[in-house]
Amino acid sequence: MLKLVVDDTWVKASLHCHSKASDGVLEPADAADYYFSRGYGIVALTDHEKITTEYGKRREGMVLPGVETSKGRTKLGADYHIVAIGINDPAIIRLPNPSEVIDYVNAAGGVAVVAHPYWSGLVHEDLLALDSYIGIEIYNTGCDVEVAKGYSTVHWDSLISSTVKAWGLAVDDAHRYYVPPVDADGGWIWIKAGDNNAEDVLDSLRSGSFYSSTGPSIGRLEMSERSVHVELTPVTRVNLVSRNGTGLSVEVGQLMRAIEMWRKQTWRKYLGIELDSLETEEKDGLTKVFLNGRNLKAEAIYDREGLRLLDIKAKFGYQYMRLEAIDQHGKIAWSNPVFLK
């Protein structure tokens, strides 16, 4: 079961960004300030082949040391890019291959993430060839705005379907910051920070106690074999994604269409194939919808801005399940998967 209750112990985090210590346009301190001034509480500076520590004492938030290092050769002849977080040992840079890097990071108490699989041209076999990384970047702002290769959710689902326990992270990979196309403040995670120390943050990364986003915020999320409950800022669509052709999608426009069809006897018979009843309540600008079907029971709450609550009870029978929510601007939030079988 997955249960997230986002409260004051959760912090917005940017876990992949670059400074002038490698090829970014901002000094390390200015890169950190860029994020802290925008409501982030955690920044990981991950310069290329360099662990950046000269960023000054920060009172606004937490700066985690890290590095992005390129190693090895993939099936299509590219490099693996590994982002190591919570590491302050330059010996990692001299290691010859990605597997050794990941093992070294884990032994030193950090976490390793496979960066931008789509941008790097990684295929499924490349990701299976490595192990012990916590996850992959499922969204990378820089790769998106520069060459339209920012989304790697297909890679993610292939991994999870192969029973690999991999979390999904949204990041910026910022280099340009203010220079168009702007590659910063576009992808982030919200993470349970505990007592707001580095070890708590790293533990939450290992355990998957975070969700990723480019816009929507999740307030509460529970997923199990028999139920899904999510409360969030308004979105137009919620998807439950699973293996192969299994899953479920709820879209506000389609839900409104179903309500109208149910109210007309001539159309209700078509919905009756799947629904036994559909009831609505309207109050204070909110519409509540109660659906009873042969295979599920569901409640949804929406208003003119979008869906705010979804509760589904069913025997899903999925191998795994992850949630993604899309708002009216096309921005997305992703939960980590819960493994059901």
Ordered alpha helix ranges (H), the chain: 28-36, 98-107, 117-120, 124-128, 141-147, 153-161, 198-207, 252-263, 265-271
Kindly state whether residue 316 falls inside one of the protein's structural domains: yes
Give CA–CA dist 121/171, Å, rounded. 18
Output the domain CATH number for residue 125.
Answer: 3.20.20.140
Provide the whole-model pTM: 0.96
Instruction: State whether 229 and 196 are in the same domain.
Output: no
Kindly state whether residue 1 falls inside one of the protein's structural domains: no
Instruction: State whether 145 and 58 are in the same domain.
Output: yes
- In this prediction, residue 275 has a pLDDT band, given cuts at 50, 70 and 90, of confident
- In this prediction, residue 56 has a pLDDT band, given cuts at 50, 70 and 90, of low
Percent helix, strand, coil in the chain, to 5, is 25, 40, 40
Minimal CA–CA distance to 253: which of 265, 271, 237? 237
Domain boundary among 214, 244, 261: 214
The gap from C-alpha 84 to its chain's centroid, in whole angstroms, comes to: 18
- In this prediction, residue 295 has a pLDDT band, given cuts at 50, 70 and 90, of confident
- In this prediction, residue 57 has a pLDDT band, given cuts at 50, 70 and 90, of low
3-class secondary structure, 304:
coil
- Amino acid, res. 133: Y
For residue 133, what are its two tokens?
A: 């990384």
Q: Please check whether residue 116 is in contact with residue 143, taking contact to mean a CB–CB distance below 8 angstroms.
A: yes
Domain ranges, residue 309: 220-339
What pLDDT sits at residue 138?
A: 98
Instruction: State whether 266 and 157 are in the same domain.
Output: no
What pLDDT sits at residue 12?
A: 98
Lowest mean pLDDT among 54-58, 197-201, 268-272, 318-322: 54-58
Instruction: State whether 173 and 301 are in the same domain.
Output: no
What pLDDT sits at residue 195?
A: 83
Query: Average pLDDT, whole number, for the chain?
Result: 94
Domain count, the chain: 2
Kindly state whether residue 2 falls inside one of the protein's structural domains: no
What pLDDT sits at residue 116?
A: 98
Give CA–CA dist 250/267, Å, rounded. 20
For residue 55, what are its two tokens?
A: 């960023």
